[in-house]
A = this chain, B = another copy of it.
Amino acid sequence: MPIHQPPRYQQLADELSRQIRQGILQPGEAVLSVRRACQVFDVSPVTITQAYYLLESQGLIEARPRSGYYVRTRLPQVLNAPAMTAPTTDAAELEVSDFIFQILDSVKDPVFLPLGSSFPDPALFPLEKLGQHLAKAARHLTPMDTVAHLSPGHEGLRRQIALRYLAQGASVSPSDIIVVSGAMEGLNLCLQAVTRPGDVVAIESPAFYAGLQAIERLGLKAIEIPTHPHEGVNIPALAAALQKHPVKACLFMLNFQNPMGGVVPRANRQALLALLRQYDVPLIEDDVYAELHFPDALPVCTKQDDPTRQVMHVSSFSKSLAPGYRIGWVAAGKYAEKVRRLKLATSLATSIPVQMGLAAYLQSGGFDNHLRHLRQQLMRQAEQMMNSLSRYFPVGTRVAVPTGGYFLWVELPEGHDALAIHQRALAQGISVAPGPIFSARGGYAHCLRLNFGHTHLSPAGDSIEKLSRLLG
């Protein structure tokens, strides 16, 4: 495999990151202005900006309006970030464990402390307001509506979704958007649209277990690509995989990846897309957490840089607005007609009164206001849990500092056994998501994914302290 020489901005970011971690740059201190840094490091302003953006997305520095960048004070610095992962990279058929279903079932039991849950805390959402809009839509549903909004779906809803892309700098036609019953249906449809049983799909390592399950269920083979929490998949490693295997699709998460939580910088995405264009391989992007960025940390919309429409962008309202409503969508680019037909053939349509109710809510304009509160709340909860981890978890624990979503990816010191912790915790009424469920081969034996979205059930300090006593 060729040796990967990181770009200049990344070398710079690494250098500053080291200075911050070693305490050379102290929390609260200003970093060099862009102009000054250009002189000091003899590089262009673009390079400095990219480096600072990367450090910001890693949660190490923060922008203060009209003042410049500062080393972050709010997140504990005693926890180090995990490094690039190193999975084996031959294609494999998968076996999915019972652990996933144990965790999913524990979520339904209100007695459990759902640190292992994949869901956001449903108490965070405007269910009453949504209900009013759904109620109105339900009362006014006409017979013609029940056929007019068959797939690709309700036009008003697709237009609202297209408007959100526009706000993120991407132009997506409503006719490329297919409404689906949640992002998981969307991922399944995308995979089916571009693969046949036996084909190879590239995934991140670690990766969201539902993606792994979908790959298994469709008789596909997964090839795991080394992935950095804040840089995304290793491009040279992916290039090698594309060369070696007949990869038919990539299934990646580029914003607040589940489980690791990072945001892949725009430059890396452009490199990724350029590589995939070369092999004419579609990128199936699972982007369900994009709206959950912390107030100052904007995610990136890959659809900005997709002139060949090879990105199949999958998202939903389940994490950002309407859990339980089961409304998602796919902006499927050049594969849109294929996905629409598959949707029509597999489940015909997504519940039509629900589509209409959601469209009416979005038109009413309440979404952005709700998101502002939600983002504040999630950031506060992340900080609480980070603080508790640094207080109660063993020395040597590494955590990727999140800038959005509601997961922390925790690498315990080697020797800890996440599956054993999972079983002990379950017996004590706590669910956790053990690392091995995020890999086709059961790696990440000493890792846990923790959900910081549910702290109203128990203060983060209490639940993390309780969990720390079960680490063994």
Contacts and interface: CB of A to CB of B under 8 A. Distances in A.
A214 B346 contact: yes
B143 A135 contact: no
Contacts of A347: 181-182, 184-185, 188, 326
A53 to B, nearest CB: 34
A357 interface: yes
Nearest to A127: B141
Interface stretch (A192-200, A393-401, A464-472): A192-200
A128 to B, nearest CB: 7
Interface stretch (A77-85, A147-155, A245-253, A404-412): A147-155
Interface string A183-220: 01100100010001110000000000010011001110
A134 B144 contact: no
A384 interface: no
Given A135-B138, A210-B345, A146 B323 contact: yes
A342 interface: yes
**Main secondary structure on chain A at its contact with chain B?**
helix
Nearest to A150: B108
A374 interface: no
A438 to B, nearest CB: 15
Nearest to A356: B324
Contacts of A217: 192, 342, 345-346
A325 B125 CA distance: 23
A442 interface: no
A353 interface: yes
Interface residues of A, number: 67
A132 interface: yes
B139 A348 contact: no
A110 interface: yes
A85 to B, nearest CB: 24
Interface in A59-73: none
Contact of A326 (B135, B139, B142, B348): B348
A350 interface: yes
B146 A139 contact: no
A107 interface: yes
Contacts of A188: 346-347
Interface of A: 96, 100-101, 104, 107-108, 110, 119, 121-123, 125, 127-128, 130-132, 134-136, 138-150, 181-182, 184-185, 188, 192, 196-198, 210, 213-214, 217-219, 323-327, 341-342, 344-354, 357
Contacts of A138: 130-132, 134-135, 138, 357
Nearest to A325: B351
B108 A324 contact: no
A324 B101 contact: no
A101 B151 CA distance: 11
Contacts of A192: 217
A161 to B, nearest CB: 18
B149 A324 contact: yes
Given A108-B148, A119-B147, A351 B139 contact: no
22 contacts: A104-B150, A119-B147, A122-B144, A127-B146, A132-B139, A134-B353, A138-B138, A138-B357, A147-B323, A149-B324, A181-B326, A181-B351, A182-B348, A184-B346, A184-B347, A188-B347, A219-B219, A324-B349, A325-B352, A326-B348, A326-B351, A326-B352
> Would you list the 7 A-B pairs with minimal beta carbon distance, nearest first?
A146-B324, A135-B135, A197-B197, A122-B143, A324-B352, A134-B138, A197-B219
Nearest to A145: B324
A122 B108 contact: no
Given A213-B345, A219-B219, A324-B349, A139 B145 contact: no
B134 A147 contact: no
Given A104-B150, A134-B353, A141 B324 contact: yes
A136 B135 contact: yes
A318 to B, nearest CB: 8
